[in-house]
Structure 1
Amino acid sequence: MFRLIYTVPVIGWCLRDLQTGGASAFTYFLVNCGLLWVFSAVFFGYPGIIIPALCAVPTMFVLLILLTRGRYEVS
């Protein structure tokens, strides 16, 4: 599955660097994700801000449930 994702030109390169890169690769990945969100707001307007935030809601719910059940530790 990862091999298929890594073949996508820009996203695959970023994800491969995130997995195999150094400590700064994670910071660069987060900065790039933030910039993508800003650029989507510039190009698409208000929906570019709201839709990614709404897509992140289920992820945050699952993370909060896992944290409260003690199955995931933040280090």
Structure 2
Amino acid sequence: MTALEMPQRLPLWQRVLFAVPLFGWMARDAANAQPEDLYYTAAAIFSMWGCAILLFGLPGLYIPALLMVPLMFLILVLISRG
């Protein structure tokens, strides 16, 4: 046992994700979350979706929802496996 605890090195996928400027900052906040940070992260995601709707119109509404379909299928498979 040493007096100095060295922090664990993050896996490669987390280092790459956290290096992306806008999304990495939000992902780092979500990974090291305090209870109130999760509300701020959800508000930021919905705000970005709203900005996409204002900027691109209906495709800004539909495309993120369509991209969530494979994620929901994955969640359903994981839930059914127990």
TM-score, normalised via structure 1 length: 0.82
Amino acid at match of 1:57: V
User: How far apart in 2 are the matches of 1:8 and 1:34?
Assistant: 19
Unaligned runs of 5+ in 2: 1-12
Q: How big is each residue's C-alpha offset from its partner over 1:9-34, in whole Å with a ceiling of 9 and x where there is no partner?
A: 22111111111131111111111111
User: How far apart in 2 are the matches of 1:11 and 1:69?
Assistant: 30
User: How far apart in 2 are the matches of 1:31 and 1:21?
Assistant: 14
User: How far apart in 2 are the matches of 1:28 and 1:6?
Assistant: 17
Deviation at 1:4, TM superposition (A): 1.8
The answer as to 2:77 corresponding to 1:65 is: yes
Amino acid at match of 2:56: F
Backbone CA RMSD of aligned residues: 1.2
TM-score, normalised via structure 2 length: 0.76
Choose 1 or 2 for highest CA Rg: 2
User: How far apart in 1 are the matches of 2:31 and 2:78?
Assistant: 23
Q: How big is each residue's C-alpha offset from its partner over 1:29-70, in whole Å with a ceiling of 9 and x where there is no partner?
A: 111111111110000000000000000011111212222332
After superposing on structure 2, the runs of 4+ consecutive aligned residues of structure 1 that deviate more than 2 Å are: none
User: How far apart in 1 are the matches of 2:25 and 2:46?
Assistant: 17
Give the total of aligned pairs.
70
Unaligned runs of 5+ in 1: 71-75
